[in-house]
Structure 1
Amino acid sequence: MRAGERFTVALIGASGLLGRAIAGELASALGAKDWRVVQTARGRADARRVKLDLLDHDAVRAFLRELAPDAIVVAAAERRPDVCENDPALARALNVDALSVIAAEARMLGAWVLSISTDYVFDGAAPPYFPDATPAPLNAYGQSKLDGERALLASDPAACVLRLPLLYGPFTDWNESAVTSLTPAIVRSADPANPPAPMDAWATRYPTLTCDVAAVIRGMLEHHAKGATISGITHWSGDEPMTKFDIARRIARVLNVDAKLVAQHTPTDATPRPRDCHLDSGRLETLGIGRRTAFDIAIAGLLANYPDVPDQ
């Protein structure tokens, strides 16, 4: 970036759960005269977002060459483990091949890439996991994200991967997050006419607010803009361990409903999932980057904005 020019960020996948939070954080926190953020989306493009299908590699190349961004944040992915397990080719196309195209273009343009990855690159047997821990994914989703990490860093060692755990945040649909997706079943279980709701009490998760992650990403972008680029593998995570059973009880308390919940102490998912992939966030914390909102405060604020909880 030359003196007097604006720092341009391409935000790929700006319409998703995390992408919207990043877009909002960058819009509110960064000086408009110094920063330019160009958002893309595949299915939910609008006046704020450029339509871009990551499976169309020629379109991706054309977009990046025309924009010539200083930084590219890749928040788009196939993140549903069951979908990845049933369609590994689609998982690879989005999580590996598309990222490889972006990485190659970024290197040619001199742009820094920050790509979002997952704690599911680990098997969950020996937490906490540091950035240099050996990955061992249990499912196709984790493997595709790991392959994407490796493709990105092989193409450009100056790029950065940010691994994240279970995310939740402002949502447009209850099923956008595995946290809020529990709410309808919780509400239904409170009806005496309905049976109890089974909830996983086997796997420990670390729910992390997308707004906090967005603040972390802003901090990483600011470092890059100042010439202090963060490269390689990084982690960010909430620090409150809880199972989905724990999460459900907290949501029920916020909603003030007498939910009937049954703890399941053995895995029930068709797709294998790790038991505890706690990510160590020390690398970013050492740089003064990070923000965490207490889960009870965050979930209460989110649910207060969505009073019409479905009961069907």
Structure 2
Amino acid sequence: MFKVAVIGASGLLGRAIVRELAAETPWQVVPTAFRHGGPQQSVLDVRDAQAVNAFVEREAPDAIVLAAAERRPDVCEHDPAAARALNVDAVRSVAAAARQHGAWVLSISTDYVFDGTQPPYRIDDTPNPLNAYGRSKLEGEQALLETSDNALVLRLPLLYGPIIGWHESAVTSLVPAIRASAEPGAQAAPMDAWATRYPTFTPDVAFVIRELLLRCADGTPVRDIAQWSGDEPMTKYDIAERIAQALGVEAHLLAQPTPTDATPRPRNCHLDSSRLETLGMGRRTPFDAAIRGVLNAFMKDGAQC
């Protein structure tokens, strides 16, 4: 039976991947978590090269999906060594173990490898990251492709999806401020109206990854670099307005026309998805329907801001 290891299965994207594979395939799925493994999860510190090699040797997966990473730009800026340990060194360790044991590897990267000045970006456009996060992810791409010739980098933009806390995505993290701004007498919530993002639904990404794994299982793996992105351009201000509509609240939002983040961020890194589209892959759920489902499911479980 085809066997897939999902490293970083407890995160926002990792959970969506495991859910998709469990529901739609007969494959054996081996998920890992960093600290707390459940009944179906192994605990694995992906920064420990020996532990990674032992895990791959023991489980002997046919394919590995590496979804573990440091994704917070501000954290990467303040602690680049820690970011490198996850985003570069760990990728190299996984790629080396996979090569030794004959597994195909898919590693997640980011649109932040580009500087945002000339979108849309094709897979062969020259990267030029503006911050430590983007630099570490670009080095991770290079580490993967230098270490294994049976691997794929999948670049993704801003992600959102089913959550266990508002903080899990830069999309849902806006909810507390949106709700607070709707209270009587509240001040307007400032929202970035400068940078254009393309929010992408994690179940759609998981669908794409399943399609890529099907190719691997059929003996025709996709290699090198691919990209997937939602197709609705939005600033954070736009996102906040649409979240407010989904919540049914009269939010008071203040559009910020210039960047205010301490960490530099690109203005528009729209990723061209044509390689996967040409292969007949992909699915895009409209943002309004997807975010409404995410919010309703989370609040149904009794979540509070």
Whether these two folds match at TM > 0.5 is yes
Cα distance in 2, alignment partners of residues 301 and 208 from structure 1: 14
Aligned to 1:8: 3
The answer to whether the 8 Å contact 1:199/1:264 transfers is yes
SS at match of 2:32: strand
1:56 Cα deviation from its structure 2 partner: 1.8
Alignment of 1:29-108 (within 5 A): 29-31=24-26, 35-108=27-100
Could you state the TM-score of these two structures normalised by the residue count of structure 2?
Answer: 0.98
Alignment RMSD (CA, Å): 0.9
1:186 Cα deviation from its structure 2 partner: 0.3
Cα distance in 2, alignment partners of residues 238 and 74 from structure 1: 21
The amino acid of 2:222's aligned partner reads: I
Cα distance in 2, alignment partners of residues 47 and 78 from structure 1: 25
Cα distance in 1, alignment partners of residues 255 and 5 from structure 2: 43
Identify which range, 113-122 or 40-49, moves more after superposition: 40-49
Mark the runs of 5 or more structure 1 residues left unpaired by the alignment: 1-5
Could you state the TM-score of these two structures normalised by the residue count of structure 1?
Answer: 0.96
Query: Deviations 1:160-201 (Å, cap 9, x if unpaired)?
Result: 000000000000000000000000100000112221000000
Q: 1:167 aligns with which of 146, 155, 159?
A: 159
The answer to whether the 8 Å contact 2:103/2:150 transfers is no
Q: Does 1:193 align with 2:188?
A: no
The answer to whether the 8 Å contact 2:104/2:150 transfers is yes
Cα distance in 2, alignment partners of residues 180 and 162 from structure 1: 23
The answer to whether the 8 Å contact 1:14/1:23 transfers is yes
1:24 Cα deviation from its structure 2 partner: 0.1
The answer to whether the 8 Å contact 2:193/2:255 transfers is yes
1:44 Cα deviation from its structure 2 partner: 3.1
Alignment of 1:193-272 (within 5 A): 193-272=185-264
Cα distance in 2, alignment partners of residues 242 and 99 from structure 1: 31
Q: Does 1:282 align with 2:274?
A: yes
Cα distance in 1, alignment partners of residues 158 and 239 from structure 2: 12
Cα distance in 2, alignment partners of residues 149 and 157 from structure 1: 12
Q: Does 1:19 align with 2:14?
A: yes
SS at match of 2:4: strand
Query: Deviations 1:115-148 (Å, cap 9, x if unpaired)?
Result: 0000000000000000001000000000000000
1:227 Cα deviation from its structure 2 partner: 1.1
Percent identical: 65
1:204 Cα deviation from its structure 2 partner: 0.2
1:276 Cα deviation from its structure 2 partner: 0.3
SS at match of 2:163: coil
1:46 Cα deviation from its structure 2 partner: 1.1
Alignment of 1:84-163 (within 5 A): 84-163=76-155
SS at match of 1:270: coil
The answer to whether the 8 Å contact 1:165/1:279 transfers is yes
Aligned to 2:23: 28
Aligned to 1:3: none
The answer to whether the 8 Å contact 1:187/1:309 transfers is no
Q: Does 1:305 align with 2:297?
A: yes
SS at match of 1:162: strand
SS at match of 1:43: coil
1:304 Cα deviation from its structure 2 partner: 1.1
1:55 Cα deviation from its structure 2 partner: 1.9
Q: Does 1:292 align with 2:292?
A: no
1:309 Cα deviation from its structure 2 partner: 6.0
Cα distance in 1, alignment partners of residues 42 and 97 from structure 2: 18
The answer to whether the 8 Å contact 1:10/1:38 transfers is yes
**Structure 1 residue ranges (4+ consecutive) displaced by more than 4 angstroms after TM superposition:** none
SS at match of 1:289: coil
Cα distance in 2, alignment partners of residues 179 and 206 from structure 1: 11
The amino acid of 1:84's aligned partner reads: C
Aligned length: 303
The answer to whether the 8 Å contact 1:124/1:274 transfers is yes
SS at match of 2:298: coil
The answer to whether the 8 Å contact 2:99/2:150 transfers is no
